[in-house]
């Protein structure tokens, strides 16, 4: 594994994605007949561009989040990532095809491309998560907790949209817009949770993944409130200690679970270590 290679890969991916977005804008078809701009064609092209932009932006965000979890990457992972970027670089071409003629074939082709990219990216994510952690079963549970099993965000959804796109291309096109936007918003909100889970001990991770969906939502809300409170009170040690105690009591009361077993905050561990000394 090589750290410098990972850093250069990050820069390369960022540059390629920036170029892709630029090319998509430049290739938008604009029809001007007898000096009159066809506004319907223009707004249709912009809408189709929005599909690809959201998809590429979401891919960049998720790529940045998951690669922040590692300092080094293997040669095999680099190869898979380059293959992913190759297929992602075809997005502008397929976007232009849909913009010129939105029909069953162009929408299906776009859907197939999205499906390939989705499968490749999920393989990369799985590889990173499993390389970072040791227990395979535990990491599979965490993978599901972090990225979810929601139908509309899985590769299965793209396969279904391909079928729908063959019969109802415009309807499928609308769903291609909704999915990346929904996915982007959700992953932005869950990023802090992903970072927190990475700091848990094995017992804490097991306790977290065994919570029900409603309990996890409650825990996320309590943890979010705790983070906001610590940011507000600053570095006051007494206030920080009180905030942690209140958070612990809430978790124990609402979830019947020790907060220390669920989440290990680095600054709190340090504070508690000094108290034990």
Neighbours of 107 (CB within 10 A): 25
pLDDT at residue 268, as a whole number: 41
Q: Please report, for residues 94, 193, 250, the alpha-carbon distance to residue 200 in angstroms, rounded to integers and kept in the order given.
A: 42, 11, 19
Given a contact cutoff of 8 angstroms between Cβ atoms, the answer to whether 71 and 3 are in contact is yes
Residue 274 pLDDT: 42
Contacting residues for 76 by C-beta, under 8 A, at least 6 apart:
none
Query: Which SS3 state, helix, strand or coil, does residue 271 take?
Result: helix
Residue 20 pLDDT exceeds 90: no
Q: Residue 203 pLDDT > 70, yes or no?
A: no
Average pLDDT (106-128) is: 89
- Reply yes or no on whether the pLDDT at 109 is more than 50: yes
Q: Report d(CA 171, CA 160) in Å as an integer.
A: 12
Close Cβ partners of 172 (under 8 Å, ≥ 6 residues apart): 107, 111, 161, 162, 164, 165
Taking only the tens place, the pLDDT of each residue in 33-53 is: 777 777 877 787 787 787 778
The residue assigned the tokens 């570095």 is: 235
Bridge partners (DSSP) of residue 32 are 37
pLDDT (tens digit, 9 = 90+) per residue, 143-165?
A: 665 555 444 456 778 888 899 99
Percentages (nearest 5) of helix, strand, coil residues in the chain: 80, 0, 15
Q: pLDDT tier at 112 (50, 70, 90 boundaries)? A: very high
Is 170 exposed, middle or buried (CB count within 10 Å of its CB: 0-12, 13-18, 19+)? exposed
Least confident span in 22-31, 113-122, 135-144? 135-144
H/E segment holding residue 172:
helix 169-198
- Token pair for 236: 């006051």
What pLDDT sits at residue 41? Answer: 76
164 contacts 107 by C-beta, under 8 angstroms: no
d(CA 226, CA 259): 12
Q: How far apart are CA 218 and CA 206, in angstroms?
A: 17
Average pLDDT over residues 233-241: 82
SS3 99: helix
Q: Which segments within the chain are labelled E, that is strand?
A: 32-33, 36-37
What is the C-alpha to C-alpha distance for residues 17 and 32, in angstroms, rounded to an integer? 30
pLDDT of res. 267: 40
Give the mean pLDDT of 251-271: 58
Report pLDDT digits (tens) over 71-97: 888 888 899 999 999 999 898 888 778
Rounded mean pLDDT of the chain?
Answer: 75
Phi, psi of 73 (to 5 degrees): -130, 150
Q: In which band, very low, low, confident or very high, does the pLDDT at 196 lie, cut at 50, 70 and 90?
A: low
| Cα three-residue angle 238-264-237, rounded to 5 degrees | 10
């Amino acid at each position: 594994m090589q750290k410098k290679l990972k850093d250069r890969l990050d820069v390369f991916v960022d540059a390629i994605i920036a170029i892709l977005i630029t090319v998509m804008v430049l290739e938008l078809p604009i029809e001007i007949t007898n000096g009159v701009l066809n506004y319907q064609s223009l707004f249709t092209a912009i809408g189709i561009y929005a599909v690809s932009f959201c998809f590429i932006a979401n891919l960049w965000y998720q790529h940045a989040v998951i690669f922040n979890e590692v300092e080094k990457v293997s040669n095999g992972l680099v190869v898979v990532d380059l293959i992913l970027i190759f297929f992602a670089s075809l997005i502008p071409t397929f976007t232009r095809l849909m913009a010129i003629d939105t029909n069953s074939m162009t929408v299906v082709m776009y859907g197939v491309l999205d499906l390939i990219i989705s499968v490749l990216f999920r393989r990369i994510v799985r590889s990173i998560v499993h390389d970072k952690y040791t227990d395979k079963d535990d990491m599979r549970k965490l993978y599901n907790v972090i990225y979810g099993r929601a139908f509309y965000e899985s590769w299965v959804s793209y396969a279904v949209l391909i079928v729908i796109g063959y019969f109802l291309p415009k309807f499928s096109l609308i769903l291609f817009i909704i999915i990346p936007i929904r996915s982007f918003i959700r992953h932005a909100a869950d990023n802090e949770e992903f970072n927190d889970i990475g700091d848990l001990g094995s017992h804490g991770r097991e306790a977290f993944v065994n919570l029900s969906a409603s309990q996890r939502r409650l825990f996320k809300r309590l943890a979010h409130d705790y983070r906001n409170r610590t940011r507000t009170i600053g570095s006051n040690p007494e206030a920080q200690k009180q905030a942690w105690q209140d958070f612990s009591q809430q978790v124990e009361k609402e979830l019947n679970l020790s907060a220390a077993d669920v989440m290990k905050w680095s600054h709190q561990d340090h504070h508690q270590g000094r108290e034990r000394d």
